[in-house]
Amino acid sequence: EDQVTQSPEALRLQEGESSSLNCSYTVSGLRGLFWYRQDPGKGPEFLFTLYSAGEEKEKERLKATLTKKESFLHITAPKPEDSATYLCAVQAAKAAGNKLTFGGGTRVLVKP
Amino acid sequence: NAGVTQTPKFQVLKTGQSMTLQCAQDMNHNSMYWYRQDPGMGLRLIYYSASEGTTDKGEVPNGYNVSRLNKREFSLRLESAAPSQTSVYFCASSYPGQGRSGANVLTFGAGSRLTVL
């Protein structure tokens, strides 16, 4: 069974204080690992897809990396507008209906 | 371009009442999904429809039914609501093979918050 575990559950940062979020996963053949951002009262918004170990992707202050067992989302010099819940999900190579399996998320609060 | 539209946004039910959550997408996606999100539990798949005319159970299907009305619409029905079904429900859609290795990105609606008293 595919499993995704995110840590920490919550993270409080000062503006400009860089940090990393962890996503550990087990999956029978990885088709893709996804990062989403979710603002309160809204649906998840797609950030990145990573396909194989060693791959990295960047978007503004966010950088996602992937190994065979985990992914990290690095937030560099965060701003208050980076406050959100960040969700990690995996898609298995043989996932029925191409469904995603999600972790519990990390709530990030960036204080000015 | 509206993307994925869910109605209603909020609903309060009494135990035993029934209701249907509606979802429509205008991106010509083949696959559609219903997830529920509970604190500390993450997003869990209720039902999905890989293509028009097919539906399958996800992780937590008990107490729910779905209908893929056409390619655009996928509804979720609670026949006899229970307090354990209090949750935020998200509909999503995807088009297979968008990315490398066939990985496909799910696009989510804004959610429907349901409270069962």
B31 close to B25: Cβ distance less than 8 angstroms: no
Whether the pLDDT of residue B36 is over 60: the answer is yes
Nearest by CB to A99, from B48, B110, B111: name it.
B48
DSSP state of A80: G
Selected residues 43-82 of chain B with any CB under 8 Å from a CB in chain A:
43-45, 48-50, 56, 58
Element (H, E) at B80: none
Q: What is the CATH number of the domain that holds A105?
A: 2.60.40.10
Average pLDDT, integer, range B33-54 = 92
Helix (H, G, I), strand (E, B) or coil at A112: coil
**pLDDT band of B2, cuts 50, 70, 90:** confident
Interface check B93 vs A, CB under 8 A: no
d(CA A28, CA B115): 36
The pLDDT score that the predictor gives to residue B108 is 97
Q: Which structural domain range is residue A28 located in?
A: 3-111
Q: How many domains does chain A have?
A: 1
Q: A with B: how many residue pairs have Cβ under 8 Å apart? A: 75
pLDDT above 90 (res B13): yes
SS (H, E, C) B6-69: EECCEEEECCCCCEEEEEEECCCCCEEEEEEEECCCEEEEEEEECCCCCCEECCCCCCEEEEEC
Element (H, E) at B99: none
CA nearest to B115, candidates B44, B17, B4: B17
In angstroms, the first-to-last Cα distance of chain A is: 41
Mean pLDDT computed over every residue of chain B: 92
For residue B83, the distance in angstroms to the closest alpha carbon of chain A comes to 21
| A44: closest chain B residue by CA | B108
Contacts of residue B31 in chain A, CB cutoff 8 Å?
Answer: 97-98
User: Does the distance separating the beta carbons of B94 and A98 come in below 8 Å?
Assistant: yes
Which member of B48, B49, B90 has the closest CB to residue A43?
B90
Contact A93, A46 (CB under 8 A): no
Cβ B108–A87 below 8 Å, yes or no? Answer: no
CA dist B1 and A69 (Å) reads 37
B79: left (phi over 0), alpha (psi -120 to 50) or beta: alpha
Q: Which chain A positions have a beta carbon within 8 Å of B38's beta carbon?
A: none
Residue A13 has pLDDT above 80, yes or no: yes
Which residues face B108 on adjacent strands? B92
* A98 backbone dihedrals φ, ψ, rounded to 5°: 60, 35
The predicted-structure confidence for A51-83, as pLDDT tens digits, reads as follows 999 999 999 999 999 999 999 999 999 999 999
Look at residue A70 in the predicted model and tell me its pLDDT: 97
CA distance B91 to B6: 7
Q: How far is B67 from chain A (nearest CA, A)?
A: 16
Angle among Cα A27, A33, A38 to the nearest 5 degrees reads 120
